[in-house]
């Protein structure tokens, strides 16, 4: 149950973040916001690294494949953040979030292609509903 609470909490906070980002992006560029966001995140997380020696040590001593995945994930996350900031600036937080919310479909798709997962019919049905819901909102926006 805690996982659901964390996920709902994240959804609520992301809704607030997107709204605040739209206000910030009114006067600045997506790249400037991405830079400040990344810098402040690093500074905020840095003190916690000192209390988590085991995980950091394991991460730093992980193999080359793991480092390739970590770097790929960080680069893709930075690009994704830049793209959503650009979308928020150009079409607003509400419209950008309605398009971006289709990402669970892509999580399932990439999980099938990369991780060889086998989702059940509910995932496909849910993905279709997300796309349909987003399309309705965007079409009538």
Write out the DSSP string of 82-117. Answer: HHHHHHHHHH-HHHHHHHHTTHHHHHHHHHHHHH--
- 13 band by pLDDT with thresholds 50, 70 and 90: very high
The answer on pLDDT for 14 being more than 70 is yes
User: How large is the C-alpha radius of gyration of the chain?
Assistant: 18
CB atoms under 10 Å from CB of 135, counted, come to 13
Q: How far apart are CA 62 and CA 96, in angstroms?
A: 36
The answer on pLDDT for 99 being more than 90 is no
Q: Is 28 left (phi over 0), alpha (psi -120 to 50) or beta?
A: beta
Q: Give the 3-state secondary structure of residue 92.
A: coil
The answer on pLDDT for 21 being more than 70 is yes
CB atoms under 10 Å from CB of 84, counted, come to 21
Q: What is the pTM of this model?
A: 0.82
> Mean pLDDT of all residues in the chain?
89
Which pLDDT score, from 0 to 100, does residue 72 have?
94
pLDDT tens digits, one per residue of 25-84 = 999 999 999 999 999 999 998 888 778 777 777 877 877 778 888 899 999 999 999 999
- 123 band by pLDDT with thresholds 50, 70 and 90: confident
Which residue, 112, 113, 80, 117, is CA-closest to 99?
80
Q: Is 116 left (phi over 0), alpha (psi -120 to 50) or beta?
A: left
Which pLDDT score, from 0 to 100, does residue 30 have?
97
Tokens representing 47? 């003190």
Q: Tell me the mean pLDDT in the region 6-19.
A: 92
Which pLDDT score, from 0 to 100, does residue 95 have?
87
């Amino acid at each position: 149950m805690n996982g659901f609470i964390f996920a709902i909490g994240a959804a609520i906070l992301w809704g607030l973040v997107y709204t605040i980002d739209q206000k910030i992006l009114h006067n600045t560029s997506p790249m400037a916001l991405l830079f400040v966001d990344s810098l402040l995140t690093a500074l905020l997380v840095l003190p916690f690294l000192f209390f988590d020696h085991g995980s950091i040590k394991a991460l730093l001593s992980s193999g080359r494949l793991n480092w390739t995945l970590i770097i790929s994930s960080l680069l893709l996350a930075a690009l994704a953040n830049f793209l959503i900031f650009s979308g928020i600036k150009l079409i607003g937080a509400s419209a950008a979030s309605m398009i971006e919310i289709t990402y669970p479909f892509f999580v399932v798709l990439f999980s099938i292609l990369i991780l060889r997962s086998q989702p059940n019919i509910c995932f496909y049905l849910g993905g279709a509903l997300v796309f349909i819901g987003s399309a309705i909102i965007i079409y009538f926006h």
